[in-house]
Structure 1
Amino acid sequence: MAVNLFDKRAVLFLPANNPRAIAKARASDADLVILDLEDAVGPEQKEEARAAAVEAVDEAWPMPVAIRINAVRTQWHGLDVLAAAHSEADLVIVPRAESQQDLHYLRSHTGKPVAAMIETAKGVLASRAIAEETVALIAGTNDLAADLRLPRGAGKAPMQTALQMIVLSARAAGIAAFDGVFNALDDLEGFAAEAAEARMMGFDGKTLIHPNQIAPCHAAFSPSDEEVARAMRLVDAATGGAERFEGEMIERMHVEAARRLLARSPRS
Protein backbone atom coordinates (compact mmCIF):
# COMPACT_ATOMS: atom_id res chain seq x y z
CA MET A 1 0.00 0.00 0.00
CA ALA A 2 1.54 3.32 -1.08
CA VAL A 3 1.05 6.34 1.16
CA ASN A 4 2.27 9.77 0.09
CA LEU A 5 2.69 12.02 3.11
CA PHE A 6 4.61 14.85 1.45
CA ASP A 7 1.40 16.82 0.85
CA LYS A 8 0.24 16.47 4.47
CA ARG A 9 0.60 19.43 6.83
CA ALA A 10 -1.86 19.08 9.71
CA VAL A 11 -1.55 15.71 11.48
CA LEU A 12 -4.17 15.41 14.23
CA PHE A 13 -3.80 13.10 17.24
CA LEU A 14 -6.85 12.07 19.25
CA PRO A 15 -7.67 9.37 21.82
CA ALA A 16 -9.05 6.32 20.04
CA ASN A 17 -11.66 5.81 22.77
CA ASN A 18 -13.23 9.27 22.40
CA PRO A 19 -16.20 9.00 19.97
CA ARG A 20 -16.88 12.73 20.04
CA ALA A 21 -13.28 13.56 19.11
CA ILE A 22 -13.39 10.97 16.32
CA ALA A 23 -16.55 12.51 14.88
CA LYS A 24 -15.00 15.99 14.96
CA ALA A 25 -11.80 14.74 13.35
CA ARG A 26 -13.67 13.02 10.53
CA ALA A 27 -15.43 16.30 9.73
CA SER A 28 -12.27 18.41 10.06
CA ASP A 29 -9.73 19.70 7.55
CA ALA A 30 -6.91 17.60 9.03
CA ASP A 31 -4.67 16.02 6.40
CA LEU A 32 -4.01 12.90 8.47
CA VAL A 33 -5.76 11.65 11.62
CA ILE A 34 -4.00 9.43 14.16
CA LEU A 35 -6.13 7.37 16.54
CA ASP A 36 -3.99 7.04 19.64
CA LEU A 37 -3.71 3.91 21.76
CA GLU A 38 -0.65 5.13 23.64
CA ASP A 39 -0.17 8.31 25.72
CA ALA A 40 -3.74 9.60 25.39
CA VAL A 41 -5.20 6.37 26.80
CA GLY A 42 -4.88 5.18 30.41
CA PRO A 43 -3.77 1.59 31.19
CA GLU A 44 -7.28 0.52 32.18
CA GLN A 45 -8.70 1.79 28.87
CA LYS A 46 -6.23 0.19 26.45
CA GLU A 47 -8.47 -2.70 25.41
CA GLU A 48 -11.47 -0.42 24.91
CA ALA A 49 -9.40 2.02 22.85
CA ARG A 50 -7.98 -0.75 20.66
CA ALA A 51 -11.46 -2.02 19.79
CA ALA A 52 -12.71 1.53 19.20
CA ALA A 53 -9.84 2.29 16.83
CA VAL A 54 -10.50 -0.79 14.73
CA GLU A 55 -14.20 0.05 14.58
CA ALA A 56 -13.50 3.68 13.66
CA VAL A 57 -11.20 2.87 10.73
CA ASP A 58 -13.77 0.45 9.33
CA GLU A 59 -15.86 3.52 8.46
CA ALA A 60 -15.16 5.90 5.59
CA TRP A 61 -12.79 8.81 6.21
CA PRO A 62 -12.15 11.78 3.90
CA MET A 63 -8.45 11.72 4.82
CA PRO A 64 -5.94 8.96 5.61
CA VAL A 65 -6.28 7.59 9.13
CA ALA A 66 -3.61 5.89 11.22
CA ILE A 67 -3.42 3.98 14.49
CA ARG A 68 -0.66 4.75 16.97
CA ILE A 69 0.12 1.52 18.77
CA ASN A 70 1.83 1.17 22.13
CA ALA A 71 5.61 0.97 22.16
CA VAL A 72 7.69 -2.14 21.59
CA ARG A 73 8.16 -4.19 24.77
CA THR A 74 5.05 -2.81 26.49
CA GLN A 75 2.40 -5.28 27.61
CA TRP A 76 -0.11 -3.94 25.04
CA HIS A 77 2.18 -3.93 22.02
CA GLY A 78 1.53 -7.42 20.67
CA LEU A 79 -2.27 -7.11 20.67
CA ASP A 80 -2.01 -3.64 19.17
CA VAL A 81 0.09 -4.99 16.30
CA LEU A 82 -2.44 -7.74 15.60
CA ALA A 83 -5.35 -5.32 15.70
CA ALA A 84 -3.65 -2.81 13.42
CA ALA A 85 -2.65 -5.53 10.97
CA HIS A 86 -6.25 -6.67 10.55
CA SER A 87 -7.74 -3.17 10.51
CA GLU A 88 -8.51 -0.80 7.66
CA ALA A 89 -5.99 1.78 8.93
CA ASP A 90 -3.89 3.38 6.20
CA LEU A 91 -0.72 3.23 8.27
CA VAL A 92 0.67 2.43 11.71
CA ILE A 93 2.43 4.93 13.97
CA VAL A 94 5.16 3.51 16.22
CA PRO A 95 6.12 5.52 19.33
CA ARG A 96 9.60 5.66 20.87
CA ALA A 97 11.23 4.09 17.82
CA GLU A 98 14.85 3.19 18.49
CA SER A 99 15.68 0.25 16.23
CA GLN A 100 15.58 -0.34 12.49
CA GLN A 101 14.97 -4.03 13.20
CA ASP A 102 11.83 -3.28 15.22
CA LEU A 103 10.45 -1.13 12.41
CA HIS A 104 11.23 -3.79 9.82
CA TYR A 105 9.42 -6.39 11.94
CA LEU A 106 6.35 -4.17 12.36
CA ARG A 107 6.18 -3.27 8.68
CA SER A 108 6.45 -6.93 7.71
CA HIS A 109 3.93 -8.22 10.25
CA THR A 110 1.28 -5.54 9.80
CA GLY A 111 1.56 -5.38 6.02
CA LYS A 112 1.08 -1.62 6.30
CA PRO A 113 3.24 1.47 5.91
CA VAL A 114 4.81 2.53 9.19
CA ALA A 115 5.69 5.99 10.52
CA ALA A 116 8.16 6.26 13.40
CA MET A 117 8.07 8.69 16.29
CA ILE A 118 11.56 9.77 17.37
CA GLU A 119 11.24 10.50 21.09
CA THR A 120 14.56 9.58 22.70
CA ALA A 121 18.24 10.35 22.30
CA LYS A 122 18.77 6.75 21.17
CA GLY A 123 16.03 7.20 18.58
CA VAL A 124 17.61 10.39 17.25
CA LEU A 125 20.95 8.65 16.78
CA ALA A 126 19.24 5.70 15.06
CA SER A 127 16.90 7.85 12.96
CA ARG A 128 18.89 7.47 9.75
CA ALA A 129 18.52 3.67 9.83
CA ILE A 130 14.93 3.82 11.10
CA ALA A 131 13.95 6.08 8.20
CA GLU A 132 14.75 3.31 5.73
CA GLU A 133 11.82 1.26 7.07
CA THR A 134 9.25 4.05 7.30
CA VAL A 135 7.15 6.49 5.28
CA ALA A 136 7.65 9.35 7.76
CA LEU A 137 9.52 10.43 10.87
CA ILE A 138 7.63 12.32 13.57
CA ALA A 139 9.44 14.33 16.23
CA GLY A 140 8.01 13.45 19.63
CA THR A 141 9.19 16.63 21.29
CA ASN A 142 7.58 16.17 24.71
CA ASP A 143 9.19 12.79 25.32
CA LEU A 144 12.41 13.90 23.68
CA ALA A 145 12.71 16.88 26.02
CA ALA A 146 12.20 14.55 28.99
CA ASP A 147 14.76 12.05 27.71
CA LEU A 148 17.28 14.85 27.18
CA ARG A 149 16.55 16.01 30.77
CA LEU A 150 15.70 19.53 29.70
CA PRO A 151 14.23 21.74 32.44
CA ARG A 152 10.56 22.64 32.23
CA GLY A 153 10.06 25.73 30.10
CA ALA A 154 13.31 25.24 28.18
CA GLY A 155 11.40 25.30 24.89
CA LYS A 156 12.62 23.72 21.67
CA ALA A 157 15.83 25.68 21.24
CA PRO A 158 17.97 23.07 23.10
CA MET A 159 16.51 20.40 20.80
CA GLN A 160 17.43 22.11 17.53
CA THR A 161 20.29 19.73 16.74
CA ALA A 162 18.14 16.67 17.42
CA LEU A 163 15.26 18.04 15.36
CA GLN A 164 17.57 18.84 12.47
CA MET A 165 18.92 15.28 12.60
CA ILE A 166 15.36 13.98 12.26
CA VAL A 167 14.78 16.17 9.19
CA LEU A 168 18.13 15.16 7.68
CA SER A 169 17.38 11.46 8.23
CA ALA A 170 13.98 11.83 6.57
CA ARG A 171 15.37 13.71 3.59
CA ALA A 172 18.19 11.21 3.11
CA ALA A 173 15.60 8.41 2.96
CA GLY A 174 13.22 10.40 0.76
CA ILE A 175 10.36 10.42 3.29
CA ALA A 176 8.27 13.06 5.07
CA ALA A 177 9.09 14.66 8.44
CA PHE A 178 6.64 16.15 10.92
CA ASP A 179 7.32 18.42 13.88
CA GLY A 180 6.06 17.67 17.39
CA VAL A 181 2.97 19.01 19.14
CA PHE A 182 2.44 22.44 20.69
CA ASN A 183 0.97 21.99 24.15
CA ALA A 184 -0.69 25.38 24.82
CA LEU A 185 -4.15 24.81 23.36
CA ASP A 186 -5.32 28.42 23.68
CA ASP A 187 -2.14 30.05 22.37
CA LEU A 188 -2.73 29.98 18.62
CA GLU A 189 -0.28 32.82 18.10
CA GLY A 190 2.44 30.80 19.80
CA PHE A 191 1.44 27.76 17.78
CA ALA A 192 1.71 29.72 14.52
CA ALA A 193 5.18 30.96 15.47
CA GLU A 194 6.41 27.47 16.32
CA ALA A 195 4.90 26.04 13.11
CA ALA A 196 6.57 28.74 11.02
CA GLU A 197 9.90 27.88 12.68
CA ALA A 198 9.33 24.18 11.92
CA ARG A 199 8.76 24.96 8.26
CA MET A 200 12.01 26.92 8.16
CA MET A 201 13.78 23.84 9.59
CA GLY A 202 12.47 21.74 6.71
CA PHE A 203 9.56 19.88 8.31
CA ASP A 204 6.66 19.07 5.97
CA GLY A 205 4.00 19.63 8.63
CA LYS A 206 3.21 19.40 12.31
CA THR A 207 1.40 17.10 14.69
CA LEU A 208 -1.59 18.61 16.48
CA ILE A 209 -3.59 17.89 19.62
CA HIS A 210 -6.71 19.98 18.92
CA PRO A 211 -8.76 20.78 15.80
CA ASN A 212 -8.38 24.53 16.43
CA GLN A 213 -4.70 24.14 15.47
CA ILE A 214 -5.52 22.87 11.96
CA ALA A 215 -6.13 26.21 10.25
CA PRO A 216 -2.99 27.95 11.58
CA CYS A 217 -1.00 24.83 10.72
CA HIS A 218 -2.16 24.94 7.11
CA ALA A 219 -1.35 28.65 6.97
CA ALA A 220 2.14 28.19 8.41
CA PHE A 221 3.12 25.39 6.05
CA SER A 222 1.55 26.86 2.91
CA PRO A 223 3.68 29.11 0.69
CA SER A 224 2.85 32.81 0.79
CA ASP A 225 1.39 34.61 -2.21
CA GLU A 226 4.78 36.19 -2.81
CA GLU A 227 6.53 32.80 -2.74
CA VAL A 228 3.99 31.34 -5.16
CA ALA A 229 4.26 34.27 -7.57
CA ARG A 230 8.05 34.10 -7.62
CA ALA A 231 8.04 30.32 -8.10
CA MET A 232 5.68 30.66 -11.06
CA ARG A 233 7.89 33.32 -12.62
CA LEU A 234 10.98 31.17 -12.08
CA VAL A 235 9.43 28.07 -13.66
CA ASP A 236 8.18 30.09 -16.62
CA ALA A 237 11.55 31.78 -17.13
CA ALA A 238 13.76 28.70 -16.81
CA THR A 239 15.17 27.34 -20.05
CA GLY A 240 17.56 24.74 -18.64
CA GLY A 241 21.03 24.89 -17.16
CA ALA A 242 22.49 27.75 -15.15
CA GLU A 243 21.03 31.16 -15.93
CA ARG A 244 20.21 34.55 -14.44
CA PHE A 245 16.80 35.14 -12.87
CA GLU A 246 15.83 38.38 -11.13
CA GLY A 247 19.42 39.15 -10.23
CA GLU A 248 20.29 35.63 -9.00
CA MET A 249 21.86 32.60 -10.60
CA ILE A 250 19.51 29.62 -10.85
CA GLU A 251 19.87 26.08 -12.15
CA ARG A 252 17.83 22.90 -12.33
CA MET A 253 17.63 22.37 -8.54
CA HIS A 254 16.01 25.81 -8.12
CA VAL A 255 13.40 24.94 -10.74
CA GLU A 256 12.65 21.63 -8.99
CA ALA A 257 12.30 23.43 -5.64
CA ALA A 258 9.92 25.95 -7.21
CA ARG A 259 7.79 23.16 -8.63
CA ARG A 260 7.65 21.43 -5.24
CA LEU A 261 6.54 24.70 -3.66
CA LEU A 262 3.80 25.17 -6.25
CA ALA A 263 2.61 21.61 -5.70
CA ARG A 264 2.06 22.40 -2.01
CA SER A 265 0.19 25.63 -2.66
CA PRO A 266 -3.63 25.66 -2.76
CA ARG A 267 -3.39 28.85 -4.80
CA SER A 268 -1.37 27.51 -7.72
Structure 2
Amino acid sequence: MSFRPRRTALYMPGSNARALEKAKTLPVDVLLLDLEDSVAPDQKDMAREQVVEAVKEGGFGHREVVIRMNGLDTPWGEKDLAGVIEARPDAVLVPKVDCAEDVYAIGRKLNDAHASQDLKIWAMMETPGAMVRALEISSSKLEYHGSRLSCFIMGTNDLSKETRAALIPGRAPMMPWLMQCLAAARAYEIDIIDGVYNQFTDAEGFIAECEQGAEMGMDGKTIIHPKQIADCNRIFSPSEEEIARSREIIDAFDAPENQSKNVMTINGKMVERLHAEMARRVVEIADAITKQDEQ
Protein backbone atom coordinates (compact mmCIF):
# COMPACT_ATOMS: atom_id res chain seq x y z
CA MET A 1 0.00 0.00 0.00
CA SER A 2 1.28 3.50 -0.77
CA PHE A 3 0.35 4.86 2.64
CA ARG A 4 1.74 3.31 5.82
CA PRO A 5 -0.09 4.25 9.04
CA ARG A 6 2.15 5.74 11.71
CA ARG A 7 -0.54 6.71 14.21
CA THR A 8 1.07 5.10 17.25
CA ALA A 9 4.82 4.74 17.79
CA LEU A 10 5.55 2.93 21.05
CA TYR A 11 8.95 3.19 22.74
CA MET A 12 10.12 -0.19 24.09
CA PRO A 13 13.35 -0.48 26.16
CA GLY A 14 15.76 -2.83 24.42
CA SER A 15 16.97 -4.16 27.76
CA ASN A 16 13.53 -5.61 28.61
CA ALA A 17 13.19 -9.02 26.92
CA ARG A 18 9.58 -9.44 28.05
CA ALA A 19 8.64 -6.08 26.56
CA LEU A 20 10.22 -7.04 23.24
CA GLU A 21 8.14 -10.20 23.13
CA LYS A 22 4.95 -8.39 24.18
CA ALA A 23 5.54 -5.86 21.41
CA LYS A 24 4.58 -8.52 18.87
CA THR A 25 1.00 -8.54 20.17
CA LEU A 26 0.25 -4.83 20.64
CA PRO A 27 -2.01 -2.97 18.17
CA VAL A 28 0.52 -0.26 17.31
CA ASP A 29 1.77 0.90 13.93
CA VAL A 30 5.40 1.48 14.93
CA LEU A 31 7.71 -0.11 17.49
CA LEU A 32 10.65 2.03 18.60
CA LEU A 33 13.09 -0.47 20.10
CA ASP A 34 15.29 1.73 22.22
CA LEU A 35 19.02 1.40 22.87
CA GLU A 36 19.43 5.00 23.99
CA ASP A 37 17.63 6.92 26.75
CA SER A 38 15.75 4.04 28.39
CA VAL A 39 18.82 1.79 28.68
CA ALA A 40 21.42 2.23 31.44
CA PRO A 41 25.09 2.40 30.36
CA ASP A 42 25.94 -0.97 31.90
CA GLN A 43 23.10 -2.61 29.94
CA LYS A 44 23.80 -1.10 26.51
CA ASP A 45 25.66 -4.12 25.08
CA MET A 46 23.11 -6.59 26.40
CA ALA A 47 20.22 -4.50 25.06
CA ARG A 48 21.82 -4.31 21.62
CA GLU A 49 22.25 -8.08 21.47
CA GLN A 50 18.63 -8.64 22.54
CA VAL A 51 17.19 -6.19 20.05
CA VAL A 52 19.27 -7.47 17.14
CA GLU A 53 18.23 -11.05 17.84
CA ALA A 54 14.57 -10.10 18.32
CA VAL A 55 14.44 -8.21 15.03
CA LYS A 56 16.24 -10.98 13.15
CA GLU A 57 13.79 -13.50 14.61
CA GLY A 58 10.83 -11.44 13.35
CA GLY A 59 7.22 -12.07 14.23
CA PHE A 60 6.25 -8.39 14.45
CA GLY A 61 3.60 -8.67 11.76
CA HIS A 62 2.47 -5.42 10.13
CA ARG A 63 4.27 -3.34 12.75
CA GLU A 64 7.03 -1.08 11.49
CA VAL A 65 10.18 -1.92 13.44
CA VAL A 66 12.61 0.92 14.18
CA ILE A 67 15.76 0.71 16.31
CA ARG A 68 16.84 3.85 18.15
CA MET A 69 20.62 3.79 18.32
CA ASN A 70 23.00 5.76 20.52
CA GLY A 71 24.76 8.65 18.81
CA LEU A 72 27.93 8.03 16.83
CA ASP A 73 29.76 10.28 19.29
CA THR A 74 29.05 7.85 22.16
CA PRO A 75 30.96 4.65 23.07
CA TRP A 76 28.04 2.56 21.75
CA GLY A 77 27.02 4.28 18.52
CA GLU A 78 29.22 2.44 16.02
CA LYS A 79 28.31 -0.99 17.43
CA ASP A 80 24.63 -0.01 17.51
CA LEU A 81 24.71 0.90 13.82
CA ALA A 82 26.51 -2.33 12.97
CA GLY A 83 23.78 -4.18 14.86
CA VAL A 84 21.09 -2.30 12.93
CA ILE A 85 22.69 -3.29 9.63
CA GLU A 86 22.79 -6.91 10.78
CA ALA A 87 19.20 -6.91 12.07
CA ARG A 88 17.68 -5.13 9.06
CA PRO A 89 14.74 -3.33 10.72
CA ASP A 90 12.56 -0.93 8.75
CA ALA A 91 14.52 2.08 9.98
CA VAL A 92 17.20 3.36 12.31
CA LEU A 93 16.22 6.25 14.58
CA VAL A 94 19.12 8.66 15.01
CA PRO A 95 19.12 10.69 18.24
CA LYS A 96 19.95 14.36 18.59
CA VAL A 97 20.17 15.15 14.90
CA ASP A 98 21.54 18.68 14.84
CA CYS A 99 22.25 19.33 11.16
CA ALA A 100 22.19 17.71 7.71
CA GLU A 101 25.69 16.27 8.21
CA ASP A 102 24.33 14.08 11.03
CA VAL A 103 22.00 12.46 8.48
CA TYR A 104 24.78 12.14 5.90
CA ALA A 105 27.09 10.48 8.42
CA ILE A 106 24.59 7.68 9.02
CA GLY A 107 23.71 7.44 5.34
CA ARG A 108 27.36 7.09 4.33
CA LYS A 109 27.91 4.25 6.76
CA LEU A 110 24.76 2.45 5.60
CA ASN A 111 25.73 2.87 1.96
CA ASP A 112 29.34 1.82 2.56
CA ALA A 113 28.01 -1.35 4.23
CA HIS A 114 25.72 -1.94 1.21
CA ALA A 115 22.67 -1.93 3.48
CA SER A 116 19.38 -2.35 1.65
CA GLN A 117 17.80 0.91 0.52
CA ASP A 118 14.69 -0.31 2.35
CA LEU A 119 16.51 0.51 5.60
CA LYS A 120 15.42 4.10 6.22
CA ILE A 121 16.73 6.88 8.46
CA TRP A 122 14.46 8.51 11.00
CA ALA A 123 15.66 11.67 12.78
CA MET A 124 15.02 12.67 16.39
CA MET A 125 14.31 16.41 16.34
CA GLU A 126 15.17 17.32 19.91
CA THR A 127 17.92 19.96 19.99
CA PRO A 128 17.95 23.75 19.58
CA GLY A 129 20.18 23.23 16.54
CA ALA A 130 17.59 20.98 14.93
CA MET A 131 14.91 23.62 15.44
CA VAL A 132 16.88 26.37 13.67
CA ARG A 133 18.10 23.96 10.95
CA ALA A 134 14.95 21.91 10.40
CA LEU A 135 14.69 22.81 6.71
CA GLU A 136 18.37 22.03 6.14
CA ILE A 137 17.89 18.63 7.78
CA SER A 138 14.80 17.77 5.76
CA SER A 139 16.43 18.91 2.51
CA SER A 140 19.22 16.38 3.09
CA LYS A 141 16.77 13.89 1.57
CA LEU A 142 17.73 15.29 -1.85
CA GLU A 143 21.35 14.16 -1.50
CA TYR A 144 22.52 10.60 -2.05
CA HIS A 145 23.67 9.93 1.51
CA GLY A 146 20.52 11.54 2.91
CA SER A 147 18.01 9.96 0.56
CA ARG A 148 16.98 7.36 3.16
CA LEU A 149 15.53 10.06 5.43
CA SER A 150 11.80 9.40 5.74
CA CYS A 151 10.52 10.51 9.15
CA PHE A 152 11.01 13.09 11.91
CA ILE A 153 10.21 12.25 15.51
CA MET A 154 9.79 15.16 17.89
CA GLY A 155 11.77 14.71 21.10
CA THR A 156 9.93 17.22 23.25
CA ASN A 157 11.45 16.10 26.56
CA ASP A 158 15.02 16.70 25.41
CA LEU A 159 13.96 19.88 23.66
CA SER A 160 12.46 21.15 26.90
CA LYS A 161 15.66 20.30 28.76
CA GLU A 162 17.95 21.98 26.21
CA THR A 163 15.86 25.14 25.71
CA ARG A 164 14.41 25.39 29.25
CA ALA A 165 10.97 25.80 27.68
CA ALA A 166 8.28 24.42 29.99
CA LEU A 167 6.16 21.43 29.01
CA ILE A 168 2.73 22.72 30.00
CA PRO A 169 -0.84 21.91 28.91
CA GLY A 170 -1.39 23.35 25.47
CA ARG A 171 2.38 23.37 24.77
CA ALA A 172 2.43 27.08 23.89
CA PRO A 173 6.24 27.38 24.31
CA MET A 174 6.74 24.39 21.96
CA MET A 175 4.26 25.29 19.23
CA PRO A 176 6.59 27.40 17.05
CA TRP A 177 9.15 24.58 16.92
CA LEU A 178 6.59 21.85 16.36
CA MET A 179 5.05 23.72 13.44
CA GLN A 180 8.45 24.68 12.04
CA CYS A 181 9.53 21.04 11.98
CA LEU A 182 6.19 20.01 10.49
CA ALA A 183 6.51 22.55 7.66
CA ALA A 184 10.10 21.44 6.98
CA ALA A 185 9.02 17.80 6.90
CA ARG A 186 6.13 18.44 4.53
CA ALA A 187 8.37 20.48 2.21
CA TYR A 188 10.27 17.28 1.39
CA GLU A 189 7.49 14.69 1.83
CA ILE A 190 8.80 13.42 5.16
CA ASP A 191 6.45 12.04 7.81
CA ILE A 192 6.51 13.57 11.29
CA ILE A 193 5.44 12.02 14.59
CA ASP A 194 4.63 14.08 17.68
CA GLY A 195 6.47 13.81 21.00
CA VAL A 196 5.45 11.81 24.07
CA TYR A 197 2.97 12.70 26.78
CA ASN A 198 4.72 11.81 30.03
CA GLN A 199 1.76 11.37 32.39
CA PHE A 200 0.48 8.08 31.03
CA THR A 201 -2.14 7.81 33.80
CA ASP A 202 -3.69 11.14 32.73
CA ALA A 203 -5.98 9.96 29.92
CA GLU A 204 -7.75 13.32 29.59
CA GLY A 205 -4.50 15.23 29.13
CA PHE A 206 -3.18 12.64 26.69
CA ILE A 207 -6.33 12.77 24.57
CA ALA A 208 -6.16 16.58 24.45
CA GLU A 209 -2.54 16.50 23.28
CA CYS A 210 -3.30 13.83 20.65
CA GLU A 211 -6.16 15.94 19.33
CA GLN A 212 -3.85 18.95 19.21
CA GLY A 213 -1.24 16.97 17.27
CA ALA A 214 -3.82 15.68 14.81
CA GLU A 215 -5.15 19.21 14.26
CA MET A 216 -1.60 20.40 13.59
CA GLY A 217 -1.16 17.75 10.92
CA MET A 218 1.12 15.28 12.68
CA ASP A 219 1.04 11.74 11.28
CA GLY A 220 0.89 10.21 14.75
CA LYS A 221 2.31 10.34 18.25
CA THR A 222 5.06 8.61 20.17
CA ILE A 223 3.78 6.85 23.28
CA ILE A 224 5.37 5.30 26.35
CA HIS A 225 2.68 2.93 27.67
CA PRO A 226 0.18 0.45 26.18
CA LYS A 227 -2.61 2.33 27.99
CA GLN A 228 -2.19 5.10 25.43
CA ILE A 229 -2.60 2.94 22.32
CA ALA A 230 -6.37 2.87 21.83
CA ASP A 231 -6.94 6.62 22.15
CA CYS A 232 -3.94 7.40 19.95
CA ASN A 233 -5.08 5.02 17.20
CA ARG A 234 -8.59 6.45 17.32
CA ILE A 235 -7.61 10.11 17.21
CA PHE A 236 -5.11 9.74 14.37
CA SER A 237 -7.54 7.70 12.26
CA PRO A 238 -10.14 9.36 10.00
CA SER A 239 -13.62 9.26 11.52
CA GLU A 240 -16.52 7.57 9.74
CA GLU A 241 -17.96 11.03 9.09
CA GLU A 242 -14.69 12.22 7.50
CA ILE A 243 -14.48 9.12 5.32
CA ALA A 244 -18.08 9.45 4.12
CA ARG A 245 -17.61 13.16 3.39
CA SER A 246 -14.39 12.45 1.51
CA ARG A 247 -15.98 9.77 -0.65
CA GLU A 248 -18.83 12.16 -1.46
CA ILE A 249 -16.36 14.82 -2.62
CA ILE A 250 -14.37 12.32 -4.70
CA ASP A 251 -17.51 10.97 -6.36
CA ALA A 252 -18.69 14.49 -7.20
CA PHE A 253 -15.45 15.53 -8.90
CA ASP A 254 -15.07 12.17 -10.64
CA ALA A 255 -18.52 12.42 -12.24
CA PRO A 256 -18.22 12.85 -16.04
CA GLU A 257 -20.23 16.06 -16.04
CA ASN A 258 -17.86 17.64 -13.48
CA GLN A 259 -14.49 16.79 -15.05
CA SER A 260 -13.84 20.40 -16.10
CA LYS A 261 -14.98 21.97 -12.84
CA ASN A 262 -12.54 23.28 -10.26
CA VAL A 263 -15.18 24.51 -7.80
CA MET A 264 -18.56 23.05 -6.82
CA THR A 265 -21.15 23.36 -4.09
CA ILE A 266 -21.71 20.13 -2.15
CA ASN A 267 -24.34 20.12 0.59
CA GLY A 268 -24.29 23.91 0.74
CA LYS A 269 -20.52 24.20 1.04
CA MET A 270 -18.08 25.44 -1.59
CA VAL A 271 -15.55 22.73 -2.44
CA GLU A 272 -12.48 23.12 -4.67
CA ARG A 273 -10.63 20.44 -6.58
CA LEU A 274 -7.81 20.65 -4.04
CA HIS A 275 -10.33 19.37 -1.49
CA ALA A 276 -10.83 16.31 -3.68
CA GLU A 277 -7.07 15.66 -3.50
CA MET A 278 -7.25 15.97 0.29
CA ALA A 279 -10.25 13.65 0.33
CA ARG A 280 -8.36 11.02 -1.65
CA ARG A 281 -5.66 11.02 1.00
CA VAL A 282 -8.25 10.53 3.76
CA VAL A 283 -9.71 7.54 1.93
CA GLU A 284 -6.24 6.17 1.22
CA ILE A 285 -5.40 6.40 4.92
CA ALA A 286 -8.67 4.74 5.92
CA ASP A 287 -8.20 1.93 3.42
CA ALA A 288 -4.64 1.33 4.56
CA ILE A 289 -5.72 1.13 8.21
CA THR A 290 -8.53 -1.29 7.34
CA LYS A 291 -6.16 -3.48 5.34
CA GLN A 292 -3.63 -3.46 8.17
CA ASP A 293 -6.23 -4.30 10.82
CA GLU A 294 -7.38 -7.27 8.77
CA GLN A 295 -3.91 -8.82 8.73
Q: TM-score, normalised by structure 1?
A: 0.93
Matching of residues 36-185 of structure 1 within 5 Å: 36-60=34-58, 61-62=60-61, 63-110=63-110, 111=115, 112-131=119-138, 132=141, 133=146, 134-151=149-166, 153=168, 156-185=171-200
In the TM superposition, residue 169 of structure 1 has moved relative to its aligned partner by: 0.9
- Secondary structure in structure 1 of the residue aligned to 2:165: coil
**Which structure 2 segments of 5+ residues have no match?**
none
On the 8 A contact 1:205/1:221 being kept in 2, the answer is yes
Aligned to 1:205, which of 206, 217, 220?
A: 220
* Distance in 2 of aligned mates of 1:156 and 1:94: 24
On the 8 A contact 1:5/1:136 being kept in 2, the answer is no
The letter of the residue matching 1:68 is R
Match of 1:219 in 2: 234
Aligned to 2:277, which of 241, 248, 256?
A: 256
- Secondary structure in structure 1 of the residue aligned to 2:33: strand
Aligned to 1:22, which of 5, 20, 30?
A: 20
Aligned residue pairs, count: 266
- Identity, in percent, stands at 38
* Distance in 1 of aligned mates of 2:150 and 2:205: 29
* Distance in 1 of aligned mates of 2:2 and 2:69: 21
**Which structure 1 segments of 5+ residues have no match?**
none
* Distance in 2 of aligned mates of 1:53 and 1:91: 13
In the TM superposition, residue 245 of structure 1 has moved relative to its aligned partner by: 2.3
In the TM superposition, residue 225 of structure 1 has moved relative to its aligned partner by: 2.0
CA gap of 1:4–1:52, structure 2 versus 1, over 3 A, is: farther
- Secondary structure in structure 1 of the residue aligned to 2:82: helix
- Secondary structure in structure 1 of the residue aligned to 2:11: strand
Encode CA deviations 1:120-162: one digit per residue, 9 max, x unaligned: 1111122212222310011101011111112464762210000
The letter of the residue matching 2:35 is L
* Distance in 2 of aligned mates of 1:72 and 1:126: 20
- Secondary structure in structure 2 of the residue aligned to 1:115: strand
In the TM superposition, residue 264 of structure 1 has moved relative to its aligned partner by: 1.8
* Distance in 2 of aligned mates of 1:209 and 1:201: 21
On the 8 A contact 1:5/1:176 being kept in 2, the answer is no
On the 8 A contact 2:170/2:209 being kept in 1, the answer is no
CA gap of 1:78–1:223, structure 2 versus 1, over 3 A, is: same
Match of 1:190 in 2: 205
The letter of the residue matching 1:66 is V
On the 8 A contact 2:167/2:173 being kept in 1, the answer is no
On the 8 A contact 1:10/1:217 being kept in 2, the answer is yes
Name the larger-Rg structure. 2
* Distance in 2 of aligned mates of 1:90 and 1:264: 20
In the TM superposition, residue 76 of structure 1 has moved relative to its aligned partner by: 1.4
The letter of the residue matching 1:210 is H
Encode CA deviations 1:87-127: one digit per residue, 9 max, x unaligned: 22111001111121121221232232100010011111222
* Distance in 2 of aligned mates of 1:21 and 1:36: 11
* Distance in 2 of aligned mates of 1:243 and 1:142: 45
CA gap of 1:250–1:243, structure 2 versus 1, over 3 A, is: same
* Distance in 1 of aligned mates of 2:207 and 2:216: 14
The letter of the residue matching 1:128 is L
